Amino acid sequence: MNCETAKPLLEAYLDNELDRADAREVEAHLDACEACRNALSKLDGIRRALRDNSLKFSAPQALRERIAATRHDTTRRPQWLNYAAACVLAFCAGGVSMHLWNSPQQNGIAHDVFASHWRALAATSPIDVVSSDRHTVKPWFAGKVAQTPVVQDFADHGFPLMGGRIDYVGDTRVPVLVYKHGQHIIDVFVMPSGTPLSSTTEQGYRLETVDLGGQPAAIVSDMDATESEKLRDLLKSN
């Protein structure tokens, strides 16, 4: 590597965006070249000037409170909506078949499951307890949820158990087993017996249902159907 090839990489090197091989080559060149060392140190000088804490503004308390207040408002259901819900209920009870009534309920659960999954992906870590093996995960659930789920590790089949967490589906606390497959993070929500669940997709995410030791469970991820079914069959067979 010479100055000509190193120069365009200096910023990416500073920003930690080079792969290891390129970074090593840049470093080798820096060892030998004073001009590039100076250029890098100038870039670093700008960084230090900008990273100075006095340049970072923190949200004022008033803004925090304003958002908290809005959150509260939107979470509370307006009166007319309760009335509308009552009308829908009356309509359904009045002769429309139970099948029609069941599907929005199922969709509601599915939607809550998807929302919990996305929220977990957005969090710093989707797991509360890290799996060293399944024996650390199962006891962790004991006492935290009504029914301890069946916990299995499928590392041999390409679906290692990462750990578990407790999450909410609607207002029910449920155990969630977290698996990994390649880059995919997979949540398995273990629902209370009798929860109506059916396979569905939402915004490119898939919900696959499986019976896990007598409890209905939802496998949620952005894997494709084949991979989803593979994990389903693994969970089912054990």
Partner 1 sequence: MTATTDHWIGELAQQHLDAAYNLGRWLLGNEQDASDAVHDAYVRAARAAHTYAGGNARAWWLAIVRNCCLAKLANRKRETTHLRAVDNEPSVADVEQRAEADQRRALVAEQLRALPVEFREALVLREIEDLSYREIADVLNVPIGTVMSRLSRGRAMLQRAFASETTNEL
Contact residues toward partner 1 (CB under 8 A) are: 11-12, 15, 17, 42-43, 45-47, 49-52, 54-60, 62-64, 66-68, 70-71, 74-75, 108, 111-112, 115-116, 118-119, 121-123, 168, 170, 203-205, 222
Q: How far apart are CA 89 and CA 84, in angstroms?
A: 9
Cβ partners under 8 Å of residue 40, min gap 6:
10, 13, 14, 30
**CB of 201: closest distance to partner 1 in angstroms?**
12
Pick between residue 131 and residue 179 the one whose CB is nearest to partner 1.
Answer: 179
Pick between residue 17 and residue 27 the one whose CB is nearest to partner 1.
Answer: 17
Pick between residue 81 and residue 87 the one whose CB is nearest to partner 1.
Answer: 81
User: What is the token pair recorded at 53?
Assistant: 């804490």
**CB of 234: closest distance to partner 1 in angstroms?**
24
Residue 228 and residue 219 in contact, taking contact as beta carbons nearer than 8 Å: yes
Q: How far apart are CA 18 and CA 9, in angstroms?
A: 8
**CB of 45: closest distance to partner 1 in angstroms?**
8
Residue 134 and residue 151 in contact, taking contact as beta carbons nearer than 8 Å: yes
**CB of 42: closest distance to partner 1 in angstroms?**
6
Residue 236 and residue 229 in contact, taking contact as beta carbons nearer than 8 Å: no
Alpha helices in the chain (DSSP H): 3-14, 20-32, 34-51, 61-75, 79-93, 98-122, 134-141, 225-237
Pick between residue 64 and residue 236 the one whose CB is nearest to partner 1.
Answer: 64
Amino acid at 76: R
Pick between residue 45 and residue 139 the one whose CB is nearest to partner 1.
Answer: 45
Pick between residue 12 and residue 234 the one whose CB is nearest to partner 1.
Answer: 12
**CB of 187: closest distance to partner 1 in angstroms?**
13
**CB of 158: closest distance to partner 1 in angstroms?**
21
**CB of 11: closest distance to partner 1 in angstroms?**
6
Q: How far apart are CA 32 and CA 236, in angstroms?
A: 60
Pick between residue 204 and residue 214 the one whose CB is nearest to partner 1.
Answer: 204
**Which string of b and e fits 49-70 if b means at least 16 CB within 10 Å?**
eeeeeeeeeeeeeeeeeeeeee
Helix (H, G, I), strand (E, B) or coil at 91: helix
